Amino acid sequence: MKWEYQDSLGIPELDERLSRVFERFASIKKTQAEGGCWNDVHFELATLSAELELCFTVEEALMRIHDYPDCEHHKEEHAELLRSVQALERATLTTGLTGKMIGTAFAAAMGHHLTQDRRYVRYLPKGRQSQGR
- Residues whose CB falls within 8 Å of the CB of residue 99, separated by 6 or more in sequence, listed in order: 29, 32, 33
pLDDT by 10s per residue, the chain, length 133? 455 555 678 888 888 888 899 899 999 989 988 988 888 999 999 999 999 999 999 999 999 999 999 999 999 999 999 999 999 888 888 877 777 888 889 899 988 988 899 999 999 886 555 544 4
pTM: 0.84
Q: What structural domains and CATH numbers belong to the chain?
A: 12-123 (1.20.120)
- The Cα angle at residue 96 between residues 95 and 97, in degrees rounded to 5: 130
